[in-house]
Amino acid sequence: MSLRRLFALFSCLLALFFTPPAAAQPHPRLAEMLAAPAAAGLVGARDTELFAWVETASGVRNVWVGGPGKPARRVTRYQADDGIQIYGLALSPDGRKLAFVRGGDEEWADEEGQPNTGSAPLIPPQEVVLVDLGAGTINVVGEGHSPVFSPDGRALAFTRRGQLWLASAGEPARRIAHLRGSVRRLSWSPDGTALLLSEVREDNSYIALVDADGTRLRYLDAGLGQSVEPVFSPDGKAVAFIRYLDPPTGAGDRGGPYWSLRHVDIVTGEARELWRPTAGQGGRYAGTRSRNLFWSRSGVLLFPWEESGWLHVYALDPARPAAPRALTRGAFEVESFALDERANVLIHADNSADIDGRTIRRTPLAGGRTQPVARAGGMQFAPVVAGTALAAIATNTAQPAHPVMLAEGRWQPLRQPASLGSFDAPQSVRFPSTDGQTVYGQLFRARGPGPHPAVIFIHGGPRRQMLAGMHPSSYYARTYLLNQYLAARGFTVLAVNYRGGTGYGQAFRDAAETGREGASEYRDILAAGRWLAARPEVDGARIGLWGGSWGGYLTALGLARDSDLFAAGVDLHGVHTLLRAPSTMRSPAQQQDDRQLQWDSSPVAAIDGWRSPVLLIHGDDDFNVDFAQSVLLARELAARGIPYEELVFPNERHSFFRHDSWVRALTATAGFLERKLGAPR
C-alpha cells in the first residue's frame, strides 16, 4: 500500500474516533445577534450636559459622545476586532476634553503580563489617550490608567503601577509620586492642589494624600484592614472613608462589626471614627456596583448598609453621626447610586419594581418620597449626572445596552439602539431547593412542539443576578442571547439564580456552606434539574448544563455528581478543585477538616461518578480562573475514559476580549448541546 493511501486510511480512522468540538461555521442568526452594538462605561461632564461612552460592535470598540442638543457622534476611528479594551473614560468639567484608556486589562490594570488577546507580535501598551473634542485631535499622554481631570480641567492625573503622573496643557506628563501599592479611587481636592487615593497593598490598603506639585505624601489615619472609598468634604478641609476587615474563617454571623466610617481633618491630621454599625445583621461591609461613598454639598455622607438585610443607601451628618437615616427602604436592593449635587437628590438603580429587573428612582436628601425618574419600560442601570442632565444604560428583552437620557419625563436614546427582533420575554420563576431554600430564575420557553430537550444556564460570580431581559454586562448579554437562540431552536432554558448571588437580600447572598464550605448552592442546581424534569413539555432524559466561571464549577459538579440527571454540559473556564491553603488562625485539626471540606466541595472529588460528555472552553491567559484548572480536569477525564471535547483560546482572558472568540465559543456551545442532547423534536 502506498504512503498516500496509508495516510488517507489513517485520516479516516481519526475522523471516526475524534469528534470536533463544534461546527466550524457559526449559525448566521447567532453570529448576527452577537455582533450587535452595545454600550458601556457611561460618564458625564461636571458642568455641562455632555455624556461619553464606549460602544462595541463586532468586537470593534469606539468612543462616542452626546447629550441634550448634541447628537451622538463617534470621536475615535478604530476598525479591528483586535481585543484591545477601551475603558476608564473621563470628561473635563467643561466637556471640552475627553480622556480614556486603551490597552491593558481594566480588571487587572497593574498586573504584570498585560493582555495580548489579538496575538500581535508585540504586546499592545496600556495608554492614556486625550481627545480635544473641539479640535478633534487625539494624543497619547502616557502609559497608565484611571485618568481624572483637575477641577479647572487644565491638568490630567493618572496612575501606572503605583506611580502618579500629571499631564498639563502643552507639557509632557511628569511623575509626581511612586507608591508601594496600586492606586484606586483617584480624585482631586476641590481646589486642585492635591490628589486623594486608596493605596492597595498585599494585605491592606491606606488612604493617601499627594500634593499635586509632588512635594508631599501623607497617609491619613493608617490602620489595619482595608481603607477604601475616600472622599473630600465639599470645602476640601476633611476626608471621609470606609474601613473594613474581612471576617475570619468560620465566623458565621458571630462577631463584628467589621467596618466603620472614618473622618480625618486634613489641616490638623486629627482622625476619628464617625460611626460603626452594631454587630449582627449589617455588621459586614457590603458595597454596590458603583462608588460607595459621597459627601454632598448639603453636608451629608451617603453610603450603603444592610441593616435591614437588604442593601440600601443611608445618609449621615458628620456633625451628628449617631443615627444614620435610611434614604431607601424595602425588600429590594440598590445596585448602584449617584448624587445629583444641584438638585440635592440621590439617584439609584434598584429592583424595587421587579425583583429580576432594574429601575432608576430618585430620593430627595432633605426628605420626601422616592419616585421613579421616568415613565418607561425595559430596564435602566448605572445612572450618571452631567450638568443638569441625567443619563443611564438601558436594555430590554431584545435591545442590548445603550445610553439613554431623561427628557420630558421619559428615557430617550442618546444613540438609536440595535434591535434584535421579537424575543419572547423570559418568565421569572421560583421553586424550592432540595433543602427548602427558594430558588429564582428565568425560564426561556422552547418554540415548537415538545417534549423538548432542556438546558440549565448557571451564571458566574457567584455574586451575580441574571435578569428578565438583556444584561448590561457584555459577558451576560452574550449568554442571554445564546439562551434566546437555544429557545428558538427548541430548547427549554432555565437561567438559575442560585444562593450566593445578589438581588435577593443579604441572607440569600451570604447563605451558609456555599463554595468550598460545602457547595450548598449546588442543591439549587440539582433542584432546577428535577424541576425541569417534572415539567410535561421537557424530556427528562435530555437535560444539560452550561455556564462559565463559577457557573463552570457548578456545571462540572453537576456532571460529576448527577450524570443520571444531567446528560451533557459545557464548562467555560470553570473551577474544578477548590483546594487552597487553610487559614493559619485555625488549629491543625480544623485546617485538616477545612481541606477535606474543600475537597468534598470540588468536582474532582466526585469524578468517578462522571459519565456525561462535556465541552471544556478556556483562554490560557485567564487571571480569574487558572487555565491549569481545565488542564487538570481534562487529564482526570481522560484517565477515566469520560468523553470530553475542548476549545482553547491562546492569549485570551477570562471574559474573552475578542468578538471572534465569543462567536466561536458560543457557536461551539450551541452545537455541542444540540449534538449531545439530540435535535429538538
Question: Could you tell me if residue 659 is inside a domain?
Answer: yes
Q: Last residue of a domain, which of 238, 270, 302? A: 270
CA 479, 484, 487: angle at the middle one, nearest 5? 125
Placement of cell 456551545 in the chain: 669
> Could you read off the pLDDT of 582-613 as tens digits, one per residue?
889 999 999 999 999 999 999 999 999 999 99
pLDDT of 12 over the 50 cut: no
Q: What is the DSSP letter of 377?
A: S
In degrees rounded to 5, what are phi and psi of residue 298? Answer: -80, 0
- For residue 421, the model assigns a pLDDT of 82
Residue 358 banded pLDDT, cuts 50, 70, 90 = very high
Q: What is the DSSP letter of 673?
A: H
> In one letter, which amino acid is 271?
A
In degrees rounded to 5, what are phi and psi of residue 105? Answer: -130, 115
> Could you read off the pLDDT of 313-339 as tens digits, one per residue?
999 999 888 889 999 999 999 999 999
- Lowest-confidence segment of 51-60, 168-177, 384-393, 550-559 by average pLDDT: 168-177
109: CB partners within 8 A, 6+ apart: 126, 145, 146, 182
Mean pLDDT of 100-118: 95
pLDDT of 48 over the 60 cut: yes
Mean pLDDT of 634-652: 98
- For residue 642, the model assigns a pLDDT of 98
Question: Could you tell me if residue 109 is inside a domain?
Answer: no
Closest by Cα among 336, 424, 431, 343 to 384:
336
Cell of 488: 428558538
- Lowest-confidence segment of 96-105, 242-251, 515-524 by average pLDDT: 242-251
Report the C-alpha gap between 143 and 529 in whole angstroms. 49
Partner residues linked to 183 by β-bridges: 199
Question: Could you tell me if residue 89 is inside a domain?
Answer: no
pLDDT of 81 over the 50 cut: yes
Instruction: Please tell me the total count of domains within the chain.
Output: 2
Cell of 404: 439613554
- For residue 296, the model assigns a pLDDT of 97
> Could you read off the pLDDT of 460-500 as tens digits, one per residue?
999 999 999 999 999 999 999 999 999 999 999 999 999 99
The CATH number assigned to the domain holding 582 equals 3.40.50.1820
> In one letter, which amino acid is 216?
R
Q: H or E stretch including 20?
A: none
Placement of cell 470645602 in the chain: 235
CA 350, 353, 356, 358: dihedral to nearest 10 degrees? Answer: -40
568: CB partners within 8 A, 6+ apart: 544, 545, 612, 613, 614, 672, 673, 676, 677
Question: Could you tell me if residue 71 is inside a domain?
Answer: no
> Could you read off the pLDDT of 287-318 as tens digits, one per residue?
999 999 999 999 999 999 999 999 999 999 99
Question: Could you tell me if residue 292 is inside a domain?
Answer: no
Residue 25 banded pLDDT, cuts 50, 70, 90 = low
Question: Could you tell me if residue 581 is inside a domain?
Answer: yes
- For residue 26, the model assigns a pLDDT of 67
Report the C-alpha gap between 648 and 629 in whole angstroms. 13
Domain that holds residue 209: 182-249+259-270
Crossing angle, helix 522-533 and helix 550-561, to 10 degrees?
A: 60
pLDDT of 23 over the 70 cut: no
Q: How far apart are the first and last CA of the chain?
A: 46
Residue 9 banded pLDDT, cuts 50, 70, 90 = very low
Q: Is the dihedral of CA 508, 513, 514, 519 positive or negative?
A: negative
Q: Last residue of a domain, which of 270, 304, 320? A: 270
- For residue 619, the model assigns a pLDDT of 98
Report the C-alpha gap between 605 and 549 in whole angstroms. 18
Q: Last residue of a domain, which of 270, 299, 328? A: 270
> In one letter, which amino acid is 257?
P
pLDDT of 15 over the 80 cut: no
- For residue 4, the model assigns a pLDDT of 32
Radius of gyration of the chain (CA): 26
Closest by Cα among 405, 403, 401 to 420:
401
Report the C-alpha gap between 244 and 261 in whole angstroms. 9
Report the C-alpha gap between 174 and 168 in whole angstroms. 9
Mean pLDDT of 630-652: 98
Question: Could you tell me if residue 240 is inside a domain?
Answer: yes
Is the backbone of residue 146 left (phi > 0), alpha (psi -120 to 50) or beta? left
Mean pLDDT of 430-458: 95
Exposed / middle / buried, residue 314 (Cβ in 10 Å: 0-12, 13-18, 19+): buried
Report the C-alpha gap between 642 and 610 in whole angstroms. 7
Question: Could you tell me if residue 489 is inside a domain?
Answer: yes
- For residue 16, the model assigns a pLDDT of 31
